[in-house]
Amino acid sequence: MSRVTDLLSRLAAAPGLYRGRGDGPESGPFVARIEIAAILRGRAVTLDYEASSDRNGLQHVEHTVLATGEGGRLEVHVACLELPGVVRFVETMPGTFTAYEGPFPARIVIDMAGNGHLHYAWWYSRDESEPKEQTRADVRRTG
């Protein structure tokens, strides 16, 4: 199996609901829910991600599609209220996706452990400095 499609293959093979906790300097502690679905016979995966807390209520809703792009590298296409439309992130290292274009420097880091754990992190900066991890969800497949 190619390293390029390894993450896509692992996520496509483990669809379902993932629940857990998250935290970050900007978000604070939250409860995370990520629904993963394989589409197009496993050629793409959707991730529907929600983060909520007692203090802030529903604080993040995201719909993401992970697929192989035209150039053969993995890409994520992200729609959420914090971004101005759908933003494309391209895999620059295994599991690390960098915004191809966007309003601020950003990346998404996805790690799928073999034991049903998924780590999903947003890294960004509000200025021209190097992005830092701002929020991270650690979730486990529930079914």
pLDDT above 60: residue 4: no
Residues 6 or more apart from 59 whose CB is under 8 A from it?
27, 30, 51, 52, 53
pLDDT of residue 3: 47
By percentage, how much of the chain surpasses pLDDT 90? 71
pLDDT above 90: residue 5: no
39-50 tens-digit pLDDT: 999 899 999 999
- Report the DSSP pairing between strands 30-39 and 16-23: antiparallel
pLDDT of residue 90: 93
* Cα–Cα distance, 51 to 132 (Å, whole number): 19
Cβ proximity of 74 and 67 under 8 Å: yes
pLDDT of residue 60: 94
- Domains contained in the chain, CATH given: 3-141 (2.40.128.20)
Q: What is the mean pLDDT of the chain?
A: 90
Mean pLDDT of the 115-136 span: 88
64-103 tens-digit pLDDT: 999 999 888 999 999 998 888 899 999 999 999 998 665 6
